[in-house]
Structure 1
Amino acid sequence: MAKALIVFGSETGNTKAGADLIAQVLEGKGVTVEIQDVREVNADVLSRPYDLAILGVSTWGAIDEEVQQDFESFYDGMADIDLHGRRMAVFGSGDQGYDKFAKAVDFVEQRARKQGAEVVTTSLKYHLHPKDSAERVKAWAEKLATKLQ
């Protein structure tokens, strides 16, 4: 049975709701899912034997060169980890009212790639709460599940 890790940072609850929805879809496809709040783990968790690590990061405001404060320590720690051979995916919420919509998702994906991870699909960005994009979020999670078969 495939095993996935979801690590999320969520200041308003939108990214956590996305993590929960993604986990629900994956579990429905027979994947064992562990969900962790980024404030409770460090980047070393990516060294554990998961078939897929999924990182959920939110973007608050017009973020330029960094991730949300709750994700900052984890993001910095990723720079010290060799992620070669690791399969990953990234998602996150943001506000489409800003020019740099969900920009933190891009930073996390770039860091994962730079450290050698295989990003298995295009990152998912959704506006605010995932309930407004539920079909897109579910379709993305179903695509992830196919990568684990």
Structure 2
Amino acid sequence: MKPLKQPVSVLVVIYTADLRVLLIERADKPGYWQSVTGSREGEESLAATAGREVLEETGLDVACYALSDWQQQNHYEIYEHWRHRYPPGTTHNTEHVFGLMLPAPLPVVLAPDEHLASCWLPWEEAAAKVFSPSNAEAIRQLPDRVAACVR
């Protein structure tokens, strides 16, 4: 039996300077596309959670690229069909948003028990495809975030 999840998670938007975004399709909900997500384990830092989840879900090592903490938190209600993964009575999660900029779209190695497929899309298409409103909002911020880095 898997240990219960903490209601503290990361969302990692993986993207390129030309605003292409990596999306992965959930194995437990085919048709649900998202960026990398995952719950903190133990007392690990949020950056460590982001790095671990990116490695587990894509095979990419964040140490080779530019991981940034966007200093953004989203507090939301956990979907009913996933609440059994959390301690009894847990209904809300706090998600911390990170970005990972890559030099170009790279192939990824998916965890087959977690994800079925991956794709690289222009940011507008990616924002429209993800099922999570907080994920869509983070992707919609990319043009401004990338422009701010160039200045």
TM-score, structure 2 normalization: 0.29
Which structure's residues are more often helix, by fraction?
Answer: 1
Greater relative contact order (CA < 8 Å, ≥ 6 in sequence): 2
TM-score, structure 1 normalization: 0.29
**Which of structures 1 and 2 has the bigger CA Rg?**
2
Which structure's residues are more often strand, by fraction?
Answer: 2
